[in-house]
Amino acid sequence: MPVVLVHGVPETPSVWDPLRAALRREDVRALRLPGFGCPRPPGFGSTKEEYVAWLAAELESMEDEEIDLVGHDWGGGLVARLVSLQPELVRSWASDATALAHPDFRWHDVARLWQTPGAGEQFWERLPLTPVEERARAFEGFGMPAEHALSIAAGMDAVMGESVLALYRSAVRVAAEWSAAFTDIPAPGLVLVPSDDAYLPAEVSRASAARAGATVAELPGLGHWWMLQDPAAGAARLEEFWGEAAG
């Protein structure tokens, strides 16, 4: 019965390392999104629906296993979409980004920049000219601990940039396209709500949980990268939820 972790953007599975160390479970697998520190399969266009289909295929390959699925940032959005369409693939799910599947969701400023033709390309073309330390400070400004910001910033390359632009441009209308199906999800769900998340409004996350019939886990004093800021708190809340889901 594995825990399957899905990272966000612009990240790699390393974002989960502190949480994995804090969990008491050993059956934990962290997936890597195509294009994020690895090549993309031939013909893979990095659209949101392609990533959902990729995630479904990954889970289906874990035959005869009950899966506790956890997603962060875009990984959390993919989790929300997957359980809207194929809830039978999981025993339980948890996400900090179900806001993407609520009608009131609006994209943040960086997302809108990436969605803008020309401006998004300029962002990623200039990135290699920016010292890694400067990129890391930008992450720190949004709450990522310094010891993790440097490695995350160093992993941002051209392939990741192409994947990010394609993903965000496929998702300009994600709330309208995904919200109708994200209601009354039969699999037990947990919506993680960090109080200080600068990208995902807490009130929209709570409202999305109500639509899905999911439990809300408040994470006071934590931001977008809660799993790096206080992995013990995140691990405790997830393990409590898994215990409840097991009945």
Q: What is the pLDDT of residue 137?
A: 93
Q: Is 196 among the domain residues?
A: yes
Q: What is the pLDDT of residue 141?
A: 86
Q: Under a CB-based contact definition with an 8 Å cutoff, are residues 211 and 127 in contact?
A: no
Q: Is the pLDDT of residue 246 over 80?
A: no
Q: Is the pLDDT of residue 247 over 80?
A: no
Is the pTM value of this prediction over 0.85? yes
Q: Is 138 among the domain residues?
A: no
Q: Provide the number of structural domains found in the chain.
A: 1
For residue 88, the one-letter residue type is: E
Q: Is 136 among the domain residues?
A: no
For 63-113, write each residue's pLDDT tens digit. Answer: 878 999 999 999 999 999 999 999 999 999 999 999 999 999 999 999 999
Q: What is the pLDDT of residue 1?
A: 84
CA distance linking residue 144 with residue 124, whole number of Å: 21
Q: Is 150 among the domain residues?
A: no
Q: Is 137 among the domain residues?
A: no
Q: What is the pLDDT of residue 138?
A: 87
Can you give the C-alpha Rg of the chain in angstroms?
17
In b/e form, how buried is each residue of 184-201, taking b as 16+ CB within 10 angstroms? ebebbbbbbbbeebebbb
For residue 153, report the phi and psi dihedrals to the nearest 5 degrees.
-65, -35
Q: Is the pLDDT of residue 143 over 90?
A: no
For 165-198, write each residue's pLDDT tens digit. Answer: 999 999 999 999 999 999 999 999 999 999 999 9
CA distance linking residue 68 with residue 6, whole number of Å: 11
Point out which residues pair with 94 in neighbouring strands.
70, 190
% of residues, the chain, pLDDT over 70: 100
Q: Is the pLDDT of residue 53 over 90?
A: yes
142 — pLDDT class (breaks 50, 70, 90): confident
Residues, the chain: 247
Average pLDDT over all residues of the chain: 96
Q: Is the pLDDT of residue 245 over 90?
A: no
CATH of the domain at 66: 3.40.50.1820
Query: Domain of 196?
Result: 3-106+174-245
Q: Is 160 among the domain residues?
A: no
Q: Is 89 among the domain residues?
A: yes
Q: Is 59 among the domain residues?
A: yes
Longest CA–CA span in the chain (Å) reads: 53
